[in-house]
Chain A
Amino acid sequence: MLEMRHIRKSFYGVKVLDDVSINLYPGETLALLGENGAGKSTLIKILNGDYSRDAGDVILDGVPVHFAEPRDAEGAGIRMIYQELHYAPELSVAENLLLGRLPHRQGLLGWMIDWNAAREQAREALKLLNVNIDPMTKMRDLSVVEREIIEIVKALSRKARIIVMDEPTAALTPPEVQQLFGIIRDLCKQGIGIIYISHRLDEVFQIAQRVTVLRDGKHVDTRPIAEMTHKALVHMMVGRDIEERAEVRKGTAAIQLGDRLLEVQGLAKTGAFEDISFHVRAGEIVALFGLLGAGHNILTQTIFGIEKADSGNVHIGGHPVQVASPQDAKRAGIGFVPLDRKVNGLVLGMSVQKNITLSNWSTLAPFGIFRPKKEMHNTRHWVDKLGIRMAGGIETHTRYLSGGNQQKVVLARWLEANVRVLLLNEPTWGVDVGARSDIYDQLEALAAQGLAILIVSSDIEEVLTVSHRILTIYKGHLTGEFMQSEATQENLLHAAAGGTL
Chain B
Amino acid sequence: MKSARNRSLAEIASLVVILTLIIIFFSQASPIFLTQRNLDNMLLDITTVGILAVFTTLLMIGGGLDLSVGSTVALCGVVIGALQGTWGILPAAAFAVAIGALVGLANGFLVTYVGINPLITTLGMLSIARGLAFVFSDGLTIPVFDSEGTQFDAYNTFTQFGEGQVFGIATPVFIMFVLFILGLLILQFTSYGRAMYAIGGNAQASQLAGLSVRRYRMIAYMLSGLSAGIAAVLLTSRLYAADPRAAPAMELTVITAVVLGGISLAGGKGTLIGTALGVLILTTLLNGMKLLSTSTDAQNIAQGVVLLLAVGLDQLRTRDINWTAWLRGSRLMPDGTKAIAKGD
Q: Which residues of A pack against B, CB within 8 Å?
A: 11-13, 41, 45, 50-51, 68-71, 82, 84-89, 304, 306, 325-327, 329-330, 336, 338, 342-351, 354, 358-359, 361, 365, 368-370, 391-393, 395-397, 399-400, 413, 417
Contact = CB atoms under 8 A, between A and B. Distances in A.
Contacts of B192: 368
Interface stretch (B9-17, B31-39, B207-215, B277-285): B207-215
B206 interface: yes
B198 interface: yes
B150 to A, nearest CB: 44
Interface in B271-297: none
Given A342-B343, A347-B206, A50 B334 contact: yes
A395 B335 CA distance: 18
A395 B334 contact: no
Contacts of A51: 334
Nearest to B199: A347
Nearest to A399: B335
A70 B332 contact: yes
Contacts of B334: 50-51
A12 B3 CA distance: 6
Interface string B310-337: 0000000000001011001010101111
A51 B212 CA distance: 38
B114 interface: no
Most buried by B among A338, A347, A370, A413: A347
25 contacts: A12-B3, A13-B3, A50-B336, A51-B334, A306-B208, A327-B211, A327-B212, A330-B210, A343-B204, A343-B205, A344-B204, A344-B205, A346-B202, A347-B205, A350-B197, A358-B198, A358-B209, A358-B211, A365-B190, A370-B189, A392-B2, A392-B3, A395-B2, A395-B4, A396-B4
B243 to A, nearest CB: 38
Interface string B247-268: 0000000000000000000001
B226 to A, nearest CB: 18
A442 to B, nearest CB: 19
Given A89-B341, A393-B1, A400-B335, 14 more contacts: A50-B334, A68-B324, A69-B332, A84-B337, A86-B336, A89-B340, A326-B210, A327-B210, A348-B201, A365-B190, A368-B192, A369-B191, A391-B1, A395-B1
A105 B202 CA distance: 41
B5 to A, nearest CB: 7
B75 to A, nearest CB: 31
Contacts of A304: 208
A329 B210 contact: yes
B1 A351 contact: yes
B194 interface: yes
Interface residues of B, number: 39
A69 B322 contact: yes
B320 to A, nearest CB: 9
Nearest to B3: A12
A361 B201 contact: no
Contacts of B328: 69, 71
Nearest to B201: A347
Nearest to A41: B336
B269 interface: yes
B38 to A, nearest CB: 40
B268 A349 contact: yes
Nearest to B203: A347
Interface of B: 1-5, 189-192, 194, 197-198, 201-202, 204-212, 268-269, 322, 324-325, 328, 330, 332, 334-338, 340-341, 343
A88 B341 CA distance: 6
A343 B191 contact: no
Contacts of B335: 399-400
Interface centre among B191, B201, B208 (most CB of A within 10 A): B208
A365 B194 CA distance: 10
B268 A347 contact: yes
A84 B5 contact: no
A392 B1 contact: yes
A159 to B, nearest CB: 21
B332 A50 contact: yes
Contact of B1 (A336, A346, A400): A400
B225 to A, nearest CB: 21
B3 A349 contact: no
The 6 closest A-B pairs by CB, nearest first: A330-B210, A12-B3, A69-B325, A347-B201, A365-B191, A396-B1
Contacts of B194: 354, 361, 365, 370
Contacts of B207: 325-326
Contacts of A50: 332, 334, 336
A343 B343 contact: yes
Contacts of B209: 326, 358-359, 413
A396 B194 CA distance: 16
B336 A45 contact: yes
Contacts of B336: 41, 45, 50, 82, 84, 86
B36 to A, nearest CB: 39
B6 to A, nearest CB: 8
Contacts of B269: 349
A411 to B, nearest CB: 13
A70 B336 CA distance: 10
A86 B338 contact: yes
Nearest to B322: A69
A446 B207 CA distance: 24
A354 B202 CA distance: 13
A86 B333 CA distance: 11
Contacts of A370: 189-191, 194
A400 B4 CA distance: 10
A350 B333 CA distance: 18
Contacts of B190: 365, 368-370
Nearest to B206: A347
A41 B337 CA distance: 13
A11 B334 CA distance: 11
A86 B335 CA distance: 12
Nearest to B266: A349
A326 B208 contact: yes
Nearest to A343: B343
A348 B202 contact: yes
A41 B340 CA distance: 21
Contact of B2 (A12, A329, A359): A12
A400 B210 CA distance: 24
Given A306-B208, A326-B210, A395-B5, A68 B325 contact: yes
